[in-house]
Amino acid sequence: MMALRELLAVAGQPEVLRYWEQLSDDERRLLAAELEPLEPRELRAHCEEAARARARHTAPRDRLMEPLPGEAIGSSIRTEAEILRRWKERGFHEISQNQVAVLLLAGGQGTRLGVPYPKGMYDVGLPSGKTLYQIQAERIRKVQQLAEERVGRQCTVPWYIMTSEFTLEPTQKFFTQHNYFGLVKSNVVMFEQRMLPAVDFNGKIILEQKGRIAMAPDGNGGLYRALTNNKILEDMDRRRIRFVHVYCVDNILVKMADPVFIGFCVEKGADCGAKVVEKAYPTEPVGVVCRVDGIYQVVEYSEVSQETVEQRNTDGRLTFNAGNICNHFFTVEFLKSVTEEFEPQLKPHVAVKKIPHIDEKGNIVKPETPNGIKMEKFVFDVFQFSKFQEAEEPPAVCEISPLVSCEGEGLEEYLKDREFHSPLLLTEKTVAALG
């Protein structure tokens, strides 16, 4: 108890223990378990920064924005077929050498989807009924198979999954129940990102219960601290991984370890890359990848004026059209430099939320208006430290099982001169019937 009081005194948060005497022994143990891992000075800085950030005004960045230079961009819909083929073969070469891993950002709950479980377990309504996790696992299996066919021997694409306190246990159980969707268990590595306290507008920690702090994952930019805390980079070194494809769990169209994207970035010598989708219309609510005052970054749509989003090039395309979809390439060496040198320089972003809490009388309050702050870092915050590259990806229109085709290879013999009707679902069984 004394150690907890000292920790909170240094952190400037003694109020956290105001209900201590009313707690049961189990509740006290749980609260202590939440507090003990926190470094007091770092906790104080976190709370103070949240209060300052809430008060800061973010100036528009329009006049400092400039589109990405042409030499930094590769397009999968405007590039010559021979160049695309070269990028793909380079990507498959790296995969076949067991040098490519995929890393999934899956710390968020499915609250906005209206479900009480992790997003990856969500059935997105496809004819097959597959969940996001199953679709992604099968795409890994297929890309491994395609790489193996090129070199005549087995290869592995490890799958690293960053979860949070909320999603780790149910995700582990889900994968176990489904036998890891045909993947080798030891090649699916799950780890947790940090949880940080939510604070009110005065920088005070919010209690969601008398003996429980309101905690939240530290954003997908918490990846870099989590890589260190969980020794993930050491695991990648042991497996001799050189390149990592990072993406978010709710991307249903993601191409796992996309050979074209990997090959493009490797050939360009990039330590960091972003796959983007061209904005559909000027006011589409999506952040754009661009340069601001010469530094690569993502500018959120809320930070840009109408005049800027409407700008067009001479060919009629939007000047700022690179829609960010959280789909990235990193070299392992770059990730090491981030974790060892740059991570402390990343500035957290403010997320103003409605956070259930205990009031001064000990009653649970579910606020109707925002009452607190969650501090997050974003995975793209490290763009400023990189030799950045960008690749564009076209949209997809139907469901083809990843076990049939990874990105269209082999489909001509099944689909040529045949007519299909929506919804189109191609599985191993339907392909066999067409054969």
Domains recognised in the chain with CATH numbers:
2-396 (3.90.550.10), 399-435 (2.10.10.100)
CB-based contacts of 267, cutoff 8 Å, min separation 6: 86, 87, 90
Q: How many Cα atoms occupy the beta-carbon half-sphere of 38 within 13 Å?
A: 29
CB-CB neighbours of 148 under 10 Å: 16
End-to-end CA distance of the chain: 71
At 326, list the tokens. Answer: 């959280």
pLDDT attached to residue 390: 57
Which amino acid belongs to residue 377? K
pLDDT at 303: 81
CA neighbor of 111 nearest in space, from 177, 167, 34: 167
Q: Rounded distance, CA 356 to CA 370, Å? A: 10
Q: How many residues does the chain have?
A: 435
One-letter amino acid identity for 55?
A
Q: What is the structure's pLDDT at 189? A: 98
Using CA of residue 171, residue 218, residue 275, residue 252, what is the dihedral sign? positive
Q: Mean pLDDT in runs of 10 for the chain (435 residues)?
A: 85 93 92 88 90 68 82 86 95 97 87 78 91 96 96 95 92 97 97 91 92 88 93 97 96 94 94 93 92 87 87 93 94 95 86 88 90 89 79 60 81 72 70 65
Given this model, what pLDDT does residue 396 score?
47
Distance CA 21, CA 96 (A): 60
